[in-house]
A and B are shown apart, each in its own frame.
Chain A
Amino acid sequence: MKKLSVILIVIGLLLVVVGCPPSYEPGGLILPEDNEITEGDGIDIPPAVPIGAPPDDMNWISPGKVNVANFYPGARAEYPVTIHNGNDTACNFAVSYRYPDHVDGDFVKPNIEAQSWVIVADMTPLLAPKETRDILITLEMPEDADIFAPQWEFWISVMDTSQGMVKTELCVRWLVIMR
């Protein structure tokens, strides 16, 4: 009986000191319980300027795709789009929600309400010559929203508004998988 008591005490102490590791460790960025990333959460947010930057004299955006998994009504996901102004002059950029022209395999285009779930922190940033800036994109699905598809996609459009009549638009694809 004494041995059993000792064993139980040891087990108890181990559980208190070590705790239980999570059973699920996805490879990506895990949002905290409140589903919002803040500096105090201790999460490594990818650097604003990824490794192997393209020429300084071209406009570019990063990343090309954002993958959101285990999403659900009431949840919130955030990720910045990094924009670089490759011009020699300050330029206004238009950053906005974009209904996709085409979608990936099993993904579908969003319903009309989805536009109101996307918040762009700054829709008309003015970037200095050669400046690189992060603009935070937030996807916040209302708790009473219908899950219209298990997998859906929307785009974030970034456009240099100083261009001529034949313009280039760079888009980030957000691929959302509902839980």
Chain B
Amino acid sequence: MRKLLVAMLLVLALIVVPVTPALALTAQDVTVTATPAFIAISNAPGTWTINDIVGVGTKGVMVIDTIYYSNPLGDCTSPSDPVVDGECRFTITNTSTVITDLTVNFPDHASGDASTNSDLGTNDTTSFGAYVYCTGMTYSTEKVICKKAASDPMKEDLAATTNILWGITYESQSDAWTSGTPMTSTVTITATAA
């Protein structure tokens, strides 16, 4: 009987031993989770020619060392505190099902004088400064520096399915143009889940 008992204990031990690593391995599995939610924004209009909304001086032509706004009330008219819808050129239509953050980046110009973004909001020789603002914001204190990359969010925690209007402030470089050729850049507004 003792032999039988020992044999059975051995069998039990053989059964239990292979199970043990499975328990440890499970705890080490990589897990990947995601909530089915949408990010859906669109922006209109998709273009902005500086000093071309109303036009100060020669419409569509910008001069050096001047602050321009994408403000439908006037290209050199600063938005008020707080910013109202009528002072914003762009409308973001937001049908996202989650709260989102919106960030705007304004890379260096790629043609003409190839003015670069100072990343400071202010201009300098051969560099421009840029800010972004949105409706409801206290412009004088809350406008956000629009860098060439990695800007801070213009709008944090935008509620789901809530549209927003926004605009850009641009300060042209402080020194004279040299090329006489138009400059272009592509501004990107990025939406991420908050």
Contact = CB atoms under 8 A, between A and B. Distances in A.
A and B: real partners?
A: yes
Interface of A: 1-2, 4-5, 8-9, 11-12, 15-16, 19-20, 22-24, 26-31, 33, 35, 46-47, 50-55, 58-72, 75-79, 86, 99, 101-102, 155, 157, 159, 163-173, 179
B190 to A, nearest CB: 4
B95 A165 contact: no
Nearest to B92: A168
Interface residues of B, number: 61
A99 B29 CA distance: 26
A132 B52 CA distance: 38
Given A31-B29, A75-B30, A62 B189 contact: no
A167 B46 contact: yes
B32 A166 contact: no
B103 A24 contact: no
B193 A168 contact: no
B8 A165 contact: no
Contacts of B189: 166-169
B97 A52 contact: yes
Contacts of B186: 165-167
The 4 closest A-B pairs by CB, nearest first: A64-B193, A164-B46, A28-B33, A50-B36
A45 to B, nearest CB: 10
B5 A4 contact: yes
A77 B25 contact: no
A67 B30 CA distance: 10
B187 A50 contact: no
B37 A64 contact: yes
B40 A54 contact: yes
B12 A11 contact: yes
Given A12-B8, A12-B15, A171-B191, A166 B31 contact: no
Nearest to A22: B26
A179 B28 contact: yes
A47 B101 contact: no
Contacts of B48: 165-166
Nearest to A49: B36
A165 B100 CA distance: 22
B150 to A, nearest CB: 5
Given A8-B8, A54-B97, A101-B105, 11 more contacts: A8-B5, A12-B15, A35-B29, A35-B30, A47-B36, A52-B97, A58-B95, A60-B38, A64-B35, A70-B29, A171-B39
A100 B123 CA distance: 26
B57 interface: no
A2 B4 CA distance: 10
A33 B90 contact: no
Residue of B26, B184, B185, B186 most packed against chain A (CB within 10 A): B26
A90 to B, nearest CB: 18
B152 A102 contact: yes
A166 B8 contact: no
Interface string B141-176: 000000001111100000000000000000000000
A46 B153 CA distance: 30
Contact of B8 (A5, A23, A29, A78): A5
Given A58-B95, A165-B185, A27 B30 contact: no
Contacts of B38: 50, 53-54, 60-62, 64
